[in-house]
């Protein structure tokens, strides 16, 4: 079990990035969350097998409506009891 903290920059807000990430992560059986940052970037933590995390990033990069210019990926400690994948910041 691996957990990645990722910050995406580019055209990643106001293009459905968070909900695309949500649906892709659910399809890949990953846990974690995704949220917009005030500077226009998107922050995500995703957890699961490395092969599935790579698929998530590749599928996000292949979306026509999303343009990722840069990704900062850091491996962080896994949260073994986490369940599901959430979109943060929707009601804030």
Q: Active-site residues: which are they?
A: 18, 36
- Interhelix angle 17-27/50-61, nearest 10 degrees: 140
Please, are residues 78 and 47 in contact by the beta-carbon 8 Å criterion? yes
* Residue 68 β-bridge partners: 10
* Angle made by CA atoms 50, 52, 54, in degrees to the nearest 5: 70
User: Given the structure tokens 């896994």, which residue do they identify?
Assistant: 78
The token pair that represents 51 in the structure block: 């092969």
């Amino acid at each position: 079990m691996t957990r990645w903290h990722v910050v995406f920059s580019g055209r990643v807000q106001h293009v459905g990035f968070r909900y695309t990430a949500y649906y892709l992560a659910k399809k890949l059986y990953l846990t974690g969350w995704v949220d917009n940052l005030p500077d226009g970037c998107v922050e995500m933590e995703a957890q699961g097998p490395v092969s599935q995390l790579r698929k998530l990033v590749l599928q996000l990069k292949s979306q026509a409506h999303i343009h990722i210019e840069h990704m900062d990926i850091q491996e962080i400690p896994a949260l073994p009891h986490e369940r599901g994948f959430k979109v943060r910041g929707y009601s804030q």
